[in-house]
Structure 1
Amino acid sequence: MVGLAQRLSRYRAPAANEPDPRRVRHMRLHFYRRVIECRDGLVCVSPYLHDESASSGSSTHRLRAALHRSLTGKPSAAVSVVAEPTESGMEADIDQLLELSRRLGVE
């Protein structure tokens, strides 16, 4: 009976306080994909960020104006960066995207 219990314990579901490694990995991949999708969206709208907007307001105002311009189909030749990270690495990128998201929610 002990042998059977040991064999069955290999197939048990994780306890409530014990994270399932597959689920954690899936959540990390989902989060990573979401960050990439946000960056891709900002890259797509970047041709609509005109240079004159850079001095006239925050990145949220520039982004809103660019989104409106994208509806008219009049991109500029220049490409601008929105929420550019100050450091390298995924954490810095995430921090900038979260800050931009917070500001967009407030304005």
Structure 2
Amino acid sequence: MDTTTFSALAEPNRLRIVELLRSGPLTVGEIAEQLQLRQPQASKHLKVLHEAGLVEVEAVANRRNYKLHRQPFQDMDAWLNAYRRIWEERFDSLNSYLQQLQSGSDKPNNEN
């Protein structure tokens, strides 16, 4: 997994931009307005996201629309999926262990 993706998303405003773009393409002005940022700030954050490959830019007349580039997020999901499986297995094991403890602790109380 490329750490550039995580570095780009580590900044709260960039993460908020990604969240906004989940619902569709937006211009720099629209992003700045919705996040209450100055347009130059929004542009700098979008530049970082673009350089990390997380957003694409589409020129429409004199406007530049930004949208999410799916591949890095699909790659991140695949990478995280391996960890999800590990944690699910561990939680299942913990659940089994706790059930054993609970059923074992009931026996001495029932015998008294």
Q: With the length of structure 1 as denominator, give the TM-score of the two structures.
A: 0.31
Task: Identify, as 1 or 2, the structure richer in helix.
Answer: 2
TM-score (norm 2): 0.29
